[in-house]
Each structure stands twice: as structure tokens, then as C-alpha cells.
Copies of this chain bind each other. A is one copy, B any other.
Amino acid sequence: MDLVPLKLVTIVAESILEKKLVEEIKRLGAKGYTIVPARGEGSRGMRSLDWEGQNIRLETIVPEEVALRILARLQEAYFPHYAVIAYVENVWVVRGEKYI
């Protein structure tokens, strides 16, 4: 079986950002995504515990260059204004062509 190495990008954000984030990641090259409702606490700048409301946990499997584009876009347009966290992991998938 051919396992293809790709990047899993996970974004946790306020639910109100869902539509915008989905549009962003598609525009930047993501072919699909999975969302689960989530809750939690985090810190944003000096304030902490500032997003105990409803959140989403969005994940998307993408090539490395798309992952970097997504993170750069988050850094530019979201991190300064919203309570958003994002992280990248290494994953291996079957049918790697679906994600490119």
C-alpha cells in the first residue's frame, strides 16, 4: 500500500469564524475538511480564558505548501484579531491524490 506523507492542519476557533475559515482554506488549496464542535480555554495576548463560548475544531489534510499558506494567512488576518490556535502534524494517507 502506498502511504503518502502530507500535513494535517488543525484550527480551533470561535464558531462564528467557520464560514470564513472554510472559504480561506479552500481558496488556499484545501480539498476537504472535517469540523467538530468544541469548547475550551485559551489565551489571546494578555487576556486568557477569553473564548469559553462555542468553538469549532477544523482539520484539513494538505500538501506542505498549502499548510504553510494557511498558517501564513491565519497569522496575517486572524491571530491579531481573533482567538484562534492552529497546529500542524505529519500524517500518512492512502489515496494521496485526493488531497492535492
Contacts and interface: CB of A to CB of B under 8 A. Distances in A.
Given A61-B85, A91-B87, A55 B34 contact: yes
Contact of A43 (B35, B41, B93, B98): B98
A66 interface: no
Q: How many copies does the complex hold?
A: 3
The A interface is mostly helix, strand or loop, or mixed, namely strand
Contact of A35 (B31, B32, B38): B38
Interface string A70-100: 0110110001000001111111111100100
Which 10 pairs of residues, A with B, have the shortest CB-CB distance? Answer: A32-B42, A34-B40, A87-B91, A88-B92, A87-B93, A36-B38, A34-B38, A36-B36, A12-B34, A33-B40
Given A6-B87, A61-B87, A79-B94, 15 more contacts: A1-B68, A31-B42, A32-B41, A34-B38, A35-B38, A36-B36, A36-B38, A36-B39, A36-B57, A43-B98, A61-B85, A74-B94, A86-B94, A87-B91, A89-B92
